[in-house]
């Protein structure tokens, strides 16, 4: 694609980006084994690859259509909970809270009240709140606490951050809720007390964690009550969690952070080697932060700022906009351009962190500006890719893990995009036996000072552990407007691949004209700069693969049973019809009315 003289001139004068490399081809002819080793860290340390036997359907049977509202959660039962809340007169925030509490019971391996997250809220009048309820580091934390044994950031009491979900829901409800707080808890309480059928996804996750679950008395009592792990369809009851949810519903959020529930969480954490205190629990606050936004082909794209990775999403969209992908359509060149935009985006991500601890607001504004995007775009060659250092990352990328996402729109076009997590599979692998709460291992999302990576880059100082700090997240809850009206709420679960999956769905809808279900089930690719490998789901044509390889990209194509992330989206069309779509990769099913 030709570039304007103005863009070329800006590139020559830029001090923000590296100069264009010479035209020589990068050294990319690596053996397949080396490629697999290059992504071993990604595959081995995270839960964003889904093993599933589901394949792409031939039709859009998963696209549901209604007139009023839509809810998309990764479990059909919880999508239905959200719809019932809307039918009772609740709004999108009420629905999102009830749906999230529901999925926290069913998919407790990924989310729940022992974790935290982010909620992007669009009011019917078009104003936005971005609520940060990310977990915080305990007061006794310090940046070197995991240097000697990084595994303690993943499993055990030391990995537990202060849970934020309940305070986040409290803040959202106080600012936007319509129905009584207690009413939003009723479905999750009933489900916990009376039981729910084990979903296919939960059964798979239990099998993957079988070895340690069967050795843990608290976990096995819940998930293997008869001495064997629960199978798909088997009834699971969680009476302790039901009691906990009922107390929070009746007594309010303070019961979680200052009462017997907090004391039990602290006691269990400390007994497992942790440093969480009652003071940490009492001092936790969710925060309302300003969202960030851009315009992409006339649509307003709104997402969260730091400590999410919204800046990566916005910068990639800004870079891609002037390429005008829709002109050529879904061709190999555009796939290459997408990968290049992602490589720049993930280079920027190394400069992100908790805005209360990182003073680089000017830099963050710079990297989501259209001017900056023009400079980056001018450095993208249509002929070849480059090694990671070309994209000027300041530090090594921190890795991210699990999560859950849900999207909601109500009849008044109030909307919510909510992403929450306990981080790795079943979080810290600690379930408080008194409250039934599974605790997060969010401390693993901080960077640990130490050995530089293969490219000589140190872990990011912006994401080091400090008392009260929130770790960098890959979440990008996003809401899109068209002509100042709500169009879509979208987001994903699945660690660092959240960013690429959400971006891919947006491009498929806006540039390639797909409906949200077809966009969600389309094959996905991922590139996070380091390792310098493009990861593709099965289903990409040989044309795409050849186009990437001919431009120097190292590629790994996943087997059919492996999928990248799961996306949930809702949408309203110009004629007022509302649509919902959940990702088949997590066996999801949206609901509408």
Please pick, among 186, 403, 419, 533, the residue that the annotation labels catalytic.
403
69, 411 in Cβ contact below 8 A? yes
d(CA 419, CA 116) in angstroms, rounded, equals 9
Query: Comparing C-alpha atoms, which of 513, 515, 547 is closest to residue 525?
Result: 547
Element (H or E) spanning 34, and its range?
helix 32-38
In 209-331, which residue ranges form alpha helices assigned H by DSSP?
210-213, 217-223, 239-251, 254-257, 260-271, 278-283, 310-321, 325-328
Q: Which residues of 141-166 are buried (b: 16+ CB within 10 A; e: fewer)?
A: bebebbeeeeebbbbbbbbbbbbbbb
97 CB-contact burial (10 Å; exposed 0-12 / middle 13-18 / buried 19+): buried
Q: Which two tokens stand for residue 408?
A: 């909601």
In 76-197, which residue ranges form alpha helices assigned H by DSSP?
76-87, 92-106, 165-176, 181-194
Extract the annotated binding site for L-glutamate: 134, 421-423, 445, 473-474, 495
Q: Which residues of 63-94 are buried (b: 16+ CB within 10 A; e: fewer)?
A: bbebeebbbbbbbebbbbbbbbbbeeebbbbb
125, 429 in Cβ contact below 8 A? no
Extract the annotated binding site: 134, 421-423, 445, 473-474, 495
Packing angle, helices 497-510 and 332-349, rounded to 10: 140
297 CB-contact burial (10 Å; exposed 0-12 / middle 13-18 / buried 19+): middle
Cα-trace Rg, the chain: 23
124, 412 in Cβ contact below 8 A? yes
Catalytic residue list contains 403: yes
335, 525 in Cβ contact below 8 A? yes
Q: How many secondary structure helices (H) and strands (E) does the chain include?
A: 22, 21
148, 99 in Cβ contact below 8 A? no
**Rounded to an integer, what is the distance from CA 583 to the centroid of its chain?**
14
Residue with tokens 């099998």, as numbered in its chain: 207
Q: Which two tokens stand for residue 175?
A: 């600012």
d(CA 194, CA 198) in angstroms, rounded, equals 13
* Beta strand pairing call for 196-197 and 235-236: antiparallel
110, 404 in Cβ contact below 8 A? yes
d(CA 494, CA 483) in angstroms, rounded, equals 31
What is the SS3 string spanning 198-233?
Answer: CCHHHHHHHHHCHHHHCCCHHHHHHHCCCCCCCCCC
Helix (H, G, I), strand (E, B) or coil at 247: helix
Enzyme catalytic residues: 403
């Amino acid at each position: 694609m030709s570039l304007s003289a103005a863009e070329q001139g800006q590139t020559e004068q830029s001090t923000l980006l590296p100069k264009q490399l010479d035209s020589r081809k990068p050294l990319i002819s690596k053996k397949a084994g080396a490629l697999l080793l290059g992504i071993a860290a990604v595959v081995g340390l995270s839960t964003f690859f889904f093993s599933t036997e589901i394949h792409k359907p031939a039709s859009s049977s998963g696209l549901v259509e209604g007139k009023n509202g839509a809810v998309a959660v990764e479990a059909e039962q919880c999508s239905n909970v959200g719809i019932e809340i809307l039918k009772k007169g609740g709004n999108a925030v009420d629905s999102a809270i009830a749906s999230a509490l529901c999925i926290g019971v069913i998919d407790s391996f990924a989310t729940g009240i022992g974790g935290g997250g982010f909620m992007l809220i669009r009011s019917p009048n078009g104003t936005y709140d971005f609520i940060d309820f990310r977990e915080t580091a305990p007061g006794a934390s310090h940046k070197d606490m995991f240097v000697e044994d990084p595994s303690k950031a993943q499993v055990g009491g030391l990995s537990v951050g202060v849970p934020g979900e309940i305070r986040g829901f409290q803040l959202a409800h106080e600012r936007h809720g319509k129905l009584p707080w207690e009413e939003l808890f009723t479905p999750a309480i009933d489900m916990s007390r009376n039981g729910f059928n084990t979903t296919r996804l939960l059964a798979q996750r239990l099998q993957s964690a079988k070895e340690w679950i069967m050795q843990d008395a608290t976990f096995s009592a819940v998930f293997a009550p008869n001495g064997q792990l629960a199978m798909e369809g088997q009834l699971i009851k969680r009476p302790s969690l039901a009691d906990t949810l009922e107390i929070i519903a009746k007594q309010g959020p303070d019961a979680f952070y200052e009462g017997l529930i907090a004391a039990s969480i602290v006691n269990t954490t400390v007994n497992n080697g942790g440093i969480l205190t009652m003071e940490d629990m009492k001092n936790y606050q969710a925060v309302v932060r300003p969202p960030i936004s851009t315009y992409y082909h006339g649509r307003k794209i709104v997402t969260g700022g730091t400590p999410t990775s919204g800046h990566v999403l916005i910068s990639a969209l800004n870079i891609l906009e002037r390429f005008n992908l829709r002109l050529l359509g879904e061709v190999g060149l555009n796939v290459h351009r997408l990968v290049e935009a992602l490589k720049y985006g993930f280079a920027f991500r190394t400069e992100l962190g908790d805005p209360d601890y990182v003073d680089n607001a000017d830099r963050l504004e710079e990297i989501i500006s259209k001017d900056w995007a023009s400079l980056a775009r001018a450095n993208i060659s249509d002929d070849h890719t480059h090694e990671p250092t070309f994209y000027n990352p300041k530090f090594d990328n921190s890795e991210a893990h699990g999560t859950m996402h849900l999207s909601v729109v109500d009849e008044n076009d109030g909307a919510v995009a909510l992403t929450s997590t306990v981080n790795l599979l079943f979080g810290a692998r600690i379930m408080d036996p008194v409250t039934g709460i599974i605790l997060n291992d969010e401390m693993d999302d901080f960077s640990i000072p130490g050995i530089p990576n293969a490219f000589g880059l140190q872990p990011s100082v912006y994401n080091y552990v400090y008392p009260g700090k929130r770790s960098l997240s890959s979440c990008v809850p996003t809401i899109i407007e068209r002509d100042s009206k709500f169009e879509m709420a979208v987001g994903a679960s699945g660690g660092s691949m959240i960013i690429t999956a959400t971006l891919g769905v947006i491009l498929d809808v806006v540039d390639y004209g797909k409906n949200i279900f077809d966009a969600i089930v389309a094959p996905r690719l991922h590139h996070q700069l380091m390792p310098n490998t493009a990861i593709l789901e099965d289903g990409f044509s040989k044309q795409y693969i050849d186009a990437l390889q001919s431009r120097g990209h190292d590629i790994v194509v996943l087997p059919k049973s492996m999928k990248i992330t799961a996306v949930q989206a809702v949408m309203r069309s110009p004629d007022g019809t509302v649509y919902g779509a959940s990702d088949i990769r997590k066996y999801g099913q949206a609901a509408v009315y």
